Structure 1
Amino acid sequence: MQKKIVVLPGDGIGPEVIAEAIKVLDEVASLYGHQFEYEYDTVGGKALDEFGVPLREETLERCKQADAVLLGAVGGPKWDTLPGHLRPEMALLGLRKGLGLFANLRPVEVFGPVVETSTIKKEVVEGVDLLVVRELTGGLYFGKKERSTSAEGLDQAIDELIYNEHEVERIAKVAFEAARVRRKKVTSIDKANVLESGRLWREVVTKVHQQYQDVELEHMLVDNAAMQLIRNPKQFDVLVTENMFGDILSDEASMLAGSIGLMPSASLSDEAGKGMYEPVHGSAPDIAGQGKANPLATILSAAMLLRYSFGLQEEATLIEDAVKSVLDAGVRTGDLATSGESITGTEQMGEYIVQELRKSKVTQ
């Protein structure tokens, strides 16, 4: 297989964790006889510094022509005082909109060896395996934004929240299809008791469910969902929700596993195979360049890239199993280490995964 991947290392720890994911992809290519061509480009804060914008048109076009996009992380306090349209995070919104990446998949699996790192009781989180399906190109993040002065002379801000039937329908179908190959349950999360957009969301998801009678559907208000994720997360299989709720709840859910450094994500479009893959965590500028970052979320995102964009199920599973094996062996980055455990650096963790890939492939 020959495929082109646009690589966007981004800011902070982004380049460090991306380097380890590329190391893993190269090993997979070598083991299976694939050829992955990497085209590097600049987005986020680094792009602002070099080009004056967080996302250049030529970068977006390059991503459109690629078979997949692998992203590190963007942002940092250096750019926090810039106007909204020049913030590094606008690169993410531009990529999502420009590539039509409407469906964000964030799996949350609590790995047994590191269950003790979670701040939640072991009996609550042990065995958790859920998937958050987040609508990614609608809602407040993409609505009209306005600053003005009220009649009383007060500064005020307006963010517009719009969803249409098509947007809700297509993300609901993604959730139901995912549930069909999991445990056949979808929890749709909204705020239908207050928001008109929530009422539309619930109506459309209920309508789509008629096509998926083999899958159980329940509706849950977002405030209750936030509580239930901590109280009894094992009740969930697939959660589907709108953009802002999904942003918040998926980060909350990531902490069930003990560290956001373990959480990958895939952002997919209507076009078969097209996707962008990135860790859920941010750029962590406070540890950038120190070799402390956990690369596993990015490595697992690379596994999702192989699975969803390239259809390489065996290769993706090999990476995921290698991560579990390395954790089983007691290898820990700082975010996963408990008292008395030795700490492994970013590059060393990547090398452990590569070694495990070689060993696992030989024994297949």
Structure 2
Amino acid sequence: MTVIAVLPGDGIGPEVIQEAVRTLDELDLGLTFDVLEHVNADTFLASGTALTADDVARIQRSDAALLGAVGDPRVTTPDYVRGVLLRLRFELDLYVNHRAVSLLADHLSPLKDTKRGAIDCVVVRENSEGLYAGIGGSLRQSTPQEVALDVEVNTYTGVSRLLDYAFDIARSEVCMVDKSNAVPNGGRLWQRCWAEHRGRHPGTPTRHLYVDAAAMLLVADPASFDVIVTNNSYGDILSDLAAELGGGIGTAASGNLNPTTGFGLYEPVHGSAPDIAGLNRANPVAAILSAALMVERLGHGDAAAAVRSAVARAVIQRRCTPDLGGSLTTTEAGAAIRAELG
């Protein structure tokens, strides 16, 4: 029995996760869902706790987790989001953020000409170190002399295991992105690990780009990338740029992975979108594609491919929500994708 922990979360999260779970049910893969409906902003505001120890234990006992969205405008501190997302990333050591991007339909591309080839790549982002590790502080706050420090953390183990994953999933090339010409200490470590991994994989073509050059090339020639591997903050930015080139944030799926244990937390990256919550207007594509990535990582490659094909066919036919050029509601868009599965 394969158990999936489901955290619908906040805002549009429950709406899009409902369509993802319905799609998974349609695949008939024998999945069982353990739904943690209480993990949301309402609970945090009432109790001050984002995740209890029991919640974490339930998630750990599952084979994978599917998350809708976390965030609520009533919560004015970062404690809630960090208490869910970052706690799970750190406690489960989900050190890889996997962001696969492919253009679903030509009409979604913001570029003028897609004849050179559409984007079809994976951004492999370090997920547990970097600037988001939370190390730093401030001195003399709220004065003209205020000093604020956020420390970027890079470790040999963290960089090496990320590069291992990037080479493992590469189809044609791995491009490592850093800013070692301006950030010398972390850059030196990344370059050392990069040289070692290139030596271990002589049959895989490789390329190195500085992050500013990588951003420009993503726009100029997005089809030239296969796997981009980079640190936490650069990966955050480049993966959102890539998502926009692939059709927008409403199509952007992600997985927070520990390739060593096999556990993953899968989520659409669009956030909770409180302005449209409850209106049946949210785009379910990113949640459904996150579910497809999850079942692929669980060993159901054919089922994942079928879901992706069904999503693409529905979007090409404009049987989708308005942000993708259609006129359907959330539930109608989910049903259209499942009809393509049939």
Q: TM-score, normalised by structure 2?
A: 0.94
Paired residue for 1:362? none
C-alpha displacement at 1:28, in angstroms?
0.9
After the TM superposition, which segments of 4 or more aligned residues of structure 1 sit over 4 Å from their partners?
A: none
Superposed displacement of residue 143, structure 1: 3.7
Gaps of 5+ in 2: none
Match of 1:16 in 2: 15
Report the secondary structure of 1:78's partner residue: coil
Map 1:129-144 → 2, pairs under 5 A: 129-144=120-135
SS, match of residue 355 in structure 1: helix
Q: 1:269 aligns with which of 258, 273, 291?
A: 258
1:237 counterpart (213, 222, 226)? 226
Q: Which of the numbers 190, 200, 204 marks the counterpart of 2:178?
A: 190
Shift, 1:330, TM fit: 2.4
Q: Which residue identity is paired with 2:206?
A: L
Q: Please state whether the residue corresponding to 1:283 is helix, strand or coil.
A: coil
Q: Which amino acid aligns with 1:204?
A: C
Q: Which residue of 2 aligns with 1:320?
A: 308
Equivalent residue runs for 1:105-184 within 5 Å: 105-112=98-105, 115-123=106-114, 126-149=117-140, 154-179=145-170, 182-183=171-172
- Say if 2:320 and 2:336, in contact at 8 Å, map to a contact too: no
Deviations 1:254-294 (A, max 9, x none): 00022111111111114343111111211111111111111
State the number of aligned residues: 340
Match in the other structure for 2:26: 27
- Whether contact under 8 Å (1:110, 1:125) holds in the other structure is no
SS at match of 1:278: strand
**1:64-143 pair list within 5 angstroms:** 64-79=60-75, 81-82=76-77, 84=78, 86-112=79-105, 115-123=106-114, 126-143=117-134
Deviations 1:6-45 (A, max 9, x none): 111111111110000010011112xx5x242333244353
Distance 1:65 1:271, change over 3 A: farther
Change (3 A) 1:197 1:43: farther
Q: Secondary structure at the match of 2:323?
A: coil
Whole-Å separation in 2 of the counterparts to 1:350 and 1:193: 46
Amino acid at match of 1:178: I
Match of 1:249 in 2: 238
* Partner Cα separation in structure 2 for residue 314 and residue 117 of structure 1: 26
TM-score normalised by length of structure 1: 0.89
Is the alpha carbon distance of 1:144 and 1:35 closer, same or farther for their aligned partners in structure 2, counting shifts above 3 Å?
A: closer
Question: % of aligned pairs identical?
Answer: 39
Partners in 2 of 1:277 and 1:27 — Cα distance? 19
**Contact 1:100 1:137 (C-alpha < 8 Å) held by counterparts:** yes
Contact 1:325/1:356 (<8 A) preserved: yes
- Asked if the contact 2:118–2:222 (Cα under 8 Å) also holds between the matched residues in 1, the reply is no
Indicate yes or no: 2:333 matched with 1:349.
yes
Q: How does 1:35-74 map to 2 (within 5 A)?
A: 35-74=31-70
SS of the equivalent of 2:279 reads: coil
Deviation, 1:153, is 5.6
1:246 alignment partner AA? G
Structure 1: where are the runs of 5+ without partners? 359-364
When structure 1 is superposed on structure 2, of 267-276 and 235-244 the one drifting more is: 267-276
Partners of 2:149 and 2:140 in 1: CA distance: 11
Looking at structure 2, the residues matched to 315 and 223 of structure 1 have their Cα atoms a distance apart, in angstroms, of 37
Give the secondary structure class of the aligned counterpart of 1:77.
coil
CA-based RMSD? 1.8
Query: Residues 299-328 of structure 1, C-alpha deviation per residue, up to 9 Å, x if partnerless?
Result: 0111111110x2111111111111122123
8 Å Cα contact 2:165-2:259 kept in structure 1: no
